[in-house]
Structure 1
Amino acid sequence: MRRLLVASALALGCQSIAGIEERRFEEPEQASAECKVYCDEVMQSCTGKIAAYPDRPTCIATCAKLPSGETKADNSLECRTEQAVLAGSSGEPASHCKAAGPFGAEICGSSCQAYCTLLSAACPDKLTGISDCAAACAGLRSDAVFDLGTLKSGDSLECRIAYASLAAKDPTGHCAAAAFKSSACADPAGDAPDCEDFCELVGVACTGGNQVYESKAQCLAVCAVLDKGTNADQVEDTVGCRKYHSYNSIAAPAQHCPHAGPAGDGHCGKDNCEGYCQLVSKTCKTEFDATFGDSTKCLAECGKLPGANADTWNKTATTGDTVRCRAINAARASETPAACAAALGGGECQ
């Protein structure tokens, strides 16, 4: 018997040394009774592809960041608990699990409310420079996908919420992925960016005195003719680069919005002339061919104008013979061909 006990003890010791001993999650002492009830319900009813959380510790940590609410439609723990109960009792768990989890899913508040609540609680440093999280969130694409297995990538709001939930338990490991400019939530690097995504984002990030397109329709028209590039672009005269700087613009619009604009301001392209000449050659092709013939001459002539160099985009120079005046009219010409006269140095850009 003694030999058997010794053998058992040695076996357990070897397991411990190997690091493979059984580990059990111990509920944090500070976990509230409400969070324990909520996680009991949601972990039991929402499993597999409709799982709300990858594990109970993440559920408990996320729950601690959720606010209380008085109405069933609030971005609150109470609303999510009710949805978790319904997921188990209604016979239709898929209809309730997306709202029972961290996402809110427009049932327990909006997804942007859920994202901003979790991000501010778990990763407050990721909101530095962002005065209105909810307004900035409106520029993020919503894929309405709540499958945790597919939310490890993809440039979507839901992907960021999934990481914000993980960050509630482990901020060091997940806050970078949960941020607006996410380290993980991105579309495939080699793919071309989507114009709708870009224009929605830049329209939210660059407003008021930092606005670089006069309307979303104008942005879409400009995007349609510019070289798309890829989602990995950061310095090229492409839509991909402009989208990259749109994310930077969320926290620092005065600095980065010009880089997301029609001419690129020398951060998407070598200078404002590279962006201007690409744009005007496509929106005013007939006039461009007659005036310049090729991009080499366009670049040479443009280089003599005020605002040609990088970081010289003048937000107020909408008249006069400047690169800003010409470029904005080249953008206008994507919708209104009559603007080509000014885009080539005539009319209001003389």
Structure 2
Amino acid sequence: MSSDITAIARTSKEGSPYRVLIVDDSVVARTVLERILAAHGGFVVTQKTSNAQQALDALSREPVDLVLLDVEMPGQSGIVALPAILKAGRGAKVIILSAICEEGSAKAVEALALGASDILSKPDHGSFGDQFARALLGRIVRIVGSEHEDTPASIRLRADNGHSNISCLGVGASTGGIHALGQLFAGMTAPLGVPILITQHLPPTFIPYFAKQLARMTNLPVKVAEDGEVLTPDKVYIAPGEANLGCRRSWNGQIIVALSADRTPLSALPAVDPMFMAMARCYGSTATGVVLTGMGRDGTVGAGHIVDAGGMIIAQDEPTSVVWGMPGSVARAGLATALLPPEKIMAFVAQHSMVMA
């Protein structure tokens, strides 16, 4: 792990260590977190604060790359203060560290929806150990390490041929995706008239809270997909945590949900590739895929199937992505028609598509 962090420092765009702000009302927690980062190099803790207001004051004086934010603090809680901290941070990533905001909880999903890059449970009573240190550094590597993968100076976009037919929209996302999905639906000014399939990399325990959070982001009905149900227009179907979300044609020609627990050793479950591949088979040239922020390359193979079938792919742009892994992979493969911030994607789809009857 130490070599991973050192490698990140050597490839940082500024050639200097990542600047970190620690926000926690516990002196013990602040001290231990600083020691964990100092022991592995590549980071410098610029300031340590005990509450949200002090954090905002610190960010106004000095920019940072990463904020480690507690939830329970005097005054504003970390979650309440999160939008202001993100705004003041001007692009800084925020990782929530809390003993009460457990991974998979409603509060964790709320924090991710507000823009936190990740959540990590903090040990009770300051009982920090090697396991926590490894977990924290692993999360940081996932967030900031992937920012510096080799990226070509220019991305080859596919030709925009104007209006095309659309009968299904699929959206894939991972790290940072819940917040991006909120922005995506906020940019929808009118229903598209097609079913919307969503695969967000999340463990099964997150899914019920994620579905509720997503339902608050849109006026469209939202549900966790069930095997065999008919896909209907203007309804949002979420991949369950323990299965890939796909589709198939039933005996009477209707397109229905097809769930599968099949996975490869390197794939997530649920995964974006199987969803896009199923859309290409069922909808052909009328399938449209969207790839949002996320680590890795999930979605690239499936996006290729949609493009080969004549459909369209849109990817989130790099500046607005928490991790430009998945959308960057699609872009580098020459599969994307456009690279856009999530709030502009739905308008692009609407302007460039005609709904199939």
- Asked if these proteins are the same fold (TM beyond 0.5), I'd say no
Larger radius of gyration: 1
TM-score by length of 2: 0.29
Question: Which structure has more helix as a fraction of its residues?
Answer: 1
Q: Tell which has more relative contact order, 1 or 2 (C-alpha 8 A, sep 6+).
A: 2
TM-score by length of 1: 0.29
